[in-house]
Amino acid sequence: MKLGYLGGAVIVLLFLAGVQTGSSIGFSPPAGPTLPTLTFVPAPTPIPAGDLTAGDHYHLAEGYYGAARYEEALAAYTQAIELSYEPLASAYLGRGMVYHDLGDYKAAIADYDLALELDPDFAEVYYRRGRAYSYLEEHRSAFLDATRTIELDPAHARAYNLRGVALDFFGQYALAVEDYTRAIELGHEPAVWPYYNRGLAYKSLGEYRLAAADFDTVITLTPGDAAAHNERGIAYDELGDHEQAIEDYTQAIALGHDPLSWPYTNRGWSYLDQGMYVHAAADFNAAIALDDMPNAYWGLGDIYYMIGQYRLALVNYRHYLASTTGEPSDYVVDRVRNLETQFEDRLL
């Protein structure tokens, strides 16, 4: 009934690579050939093109990339590659990162492939390629690349986080928890990603108290995180603490959770669990007005059923059955069948 993220099923949209905030992951020191640092500064004043060496183009590309001037970075990395910058694998890695941030994940993978042909033990490239595979929802390939990164660089915190995401998609939540925990132990930056992901994995395992604790940490680290409030609210609901859950859903709404219909629906269920039918109905109607949420129709059906308004209950249950995209609840199917038979005289 509660609307939140299922252990990794959408994590890749959240904290695999900063997608939720639109930020890029940045750069981690590679285990392969020595790369110049990517602590970026704005691009310097261009030198006349004819005077630029491969190294000049490479360093210009770094500056452009750090300034989020991706098209210029792409051109500069390409020039460095054409002029045979050494180590050439680093230039392909850099250009692949630009393609990734431009959303062209297949082009990024093609450059990472070229980098690995030149240097098969370049750990950072495996990690970057694994991220691109995750964005393409090719989770087996992402898992294999994350594992290879860890083999080459056992202290690569982000590779553990990445592999945890892949494990989540395969339903291997306990193993995912182990990887997220290792990422935390290794000092993953930003720390919020593995805590958030581990919280979702704990939720999928039914470990709601541990999930709530991880979302506590996420909220401490990023106080304006609406999704963490919504997820912690779900954990509190499962623990029977509906009042605390309502506080979290209310905060998620105030912070503009996307989609906003989720915390409204969830808060409606919490109110319903407490017998606060008027408040519950208001939240379910808000969720329907926002996104025509199927579960909100289910909730309204329960309210009308409980107060003896069977015709309205049936109408809302049928809306739920007609609009849900997943397997419908057996509970609702049975309730509709009973209403259509046992209470037929009341519906006429």
Quick one: pLDDT at residue 45?
Answer: 58
Amino acid at 35: L
pTM of the entire predicted model: 0.85
d(CA 203, CA 4): 10
Quick one: pLDDT at residue 346?
Answer: 58
Quick one: pLDDT at residue 123?
Answer: 98
Quick one: pLDDT at residue 217?
Answer: 98
User: Longest C-alpha distance within the chain, in Å?
Assistant: 90
Quick one: pLDDT at residue 4?
Answer: 77
How do the domains of the chain map onto residue ranges? Answer: 292-348
Quick one: pLDDT at residue 32?
Answer: 35
Quick one: pLDDT at residue 36?
Answer: 38
d(CA 282, CA 279): 5
Quick one: pLDDT at residue 322?
Answer: 96
Quick one: pLDDT at residue 33?
Answer: 35
HSE, side-chain direction, 13 A CA sphere, residue 271: 23
* Mean pLDDT in consecutive groups of 10 residues from the start of the chain, 348 residues: 64 41 29 38 57 94 97 97 97 98 98 98 98 98 98 98 98 98 98 98 98 98 97 98 98 98 98 97 98 97 96 96 95 94 64
Question: DSSP string spanning 238-297?
Answer: HTT-HHHHHHHHHHHHHTT-SSTHHHHHHHHHHHHHTT-HHHHHHHHHHHHHHH--HHHH
Nearest CA to 115 among 149, 79, 88?
88
Quick one: pLDDT at residue 31?
Answer: 34
d(CA 201, CA 168): 7
Q: Is the separation of the CB atoms in 57 and 80 below 8 Å?
A: yes
